[in-house]
Amino acid sequence: MVEVTVTPQSSLADRPVQIRVRGLSPSQLVTLRAWLKDEQGECFQSRAFFRADGAGAVDPGLHAALGGSYSGVWPMGLLWFLQPDTLFRRLVKRDVAGSPFHVRLEVFDGLCLGADPREQPLASCEAERWYVGPGVQRVPIRQGRVRGALFLPP
């Protein structure tokens, strides 16, 4: 049975996570896809092609991506190379304290270039990426022409 995991499942956006796929056939060619919808409903996604090792596992921190949104060994590549489906959109988190980005990770058999709704992933999981740690207080700043936010630790 194929399984994809993200460790830790919930983390701050600037912290590294470990993505692993297990249960593949040795040397199986797969596509890892990461995607999320921002607060306006815009979809951002990345994908990378990998060949499983002799144990049937893929670890982007150890195995080089053969192509896709990036190539080479990038442990966080699937999250760093998220691109919008609509040109000229930027991934921006507006409600930094209220909710995380929910990133969906999926594994597909072979090379998966498009988002064909009929294509079913072999496995999937979800990761939470928070922009503010627990207990951090956000204080809006409005002083003359200065606008901003002060983040106070717990």
Q: Which domains occur in the chain, in start order?
A: 3-152 (2.60.40.2240)
The pLDDT, as a whole number, for residue 145 is: 95
- pTM equals 0.88
Instruction: State pLDDT tens for residues 107-139.
Output: 999 998 876 667 899 999 999 999 999 999 999
The pLDDT, as a whole number, for residue 116 is: 66
Distance CA 12, CA 99 (A): 11
123-130 and 101-109 strand pairing: antiparallel
Instruction: State pLDDT tens for residues 18-67.
Output: 999 999 999 999 999 999 999 999 999 999 999 999 999 999 999 999 99
Cα–Cα distances in angstroms (integers) from residue 6 to residues 9, 33, 72, 76, 78, in the given order: 5, 13, 20, 11, 12
